[in-house]
Amino acid sequence: MTAKYRQPGYQDNDRRDDRDRPQRSGQQQPPPKARDLTYGPRPLQMAGSKTVARCAMCGTILQMLNEPLGKCAKCGAELHSCRQCNNFDPGARFECAQPIPANIPDKTDKNDCTFFALRMKLEKETTLRGATTGPVNDARAAFDRLFKK
């Protein structure tokens, strides 16, 4: 029985591919083609991440993590307080995820809680390589830098 449309299929063994032929010693293989990223899965190009601690009041990145916690260098807020703690939860009892025996009335003052753990966050690195990292003094200059004339 013959097929209605005679197209080569997986059962046709009478034809040999170029890959099956032995290479001649003087003949070199052509260089591999550049991978076309139009179809199929694309390589991941995700931004890097870093773990940082920020002040709960002003958002400044805290540099001194090994020293005993004191005050924020920018705003002067206490760093060993409920607002800086990883267990701080405004929806929980006494606004703490841990079973503390008594309420701490001011969440921004320094305390001696035994459950204190400094809140660390995983943030993406958003700085571009080769970009100027200095502060932008003028919004117009930043716009012109973005769309170089």
Give residues with Cβ within 8 angstroms of 112, minimum separation 6.
none
Contact 96, 102 (CB under 8 A): no
Residue-by-residue pLDDT tens, the chain, 149 positions: 565 666 767 666 655 555 555 555 566 777 777 766 667 776 677 778 888 889 988 988 888 666 667 888 888 888 889 999 999 999 999 999 999 989 998 989 998 888 988 898 888 887 665 555 556 567 888 888 888 76
Q: What angle do CA 77, 112, 93 make, to 5 degrees?
A: 90
Tokens of 26: 């003087």
Q: What is the pLDDT of residue 98?
A: 92
Tokens of 131: 């970009």
Contact 62, 84 (CB under 8 A): no
Nearest to 64 by CA among 72, 125, 127: 72
Taking the whole predicted model, whether its pTM rises above 0.75 is answered as no
Q: What is the pLDDT of residue 139?
A: 81
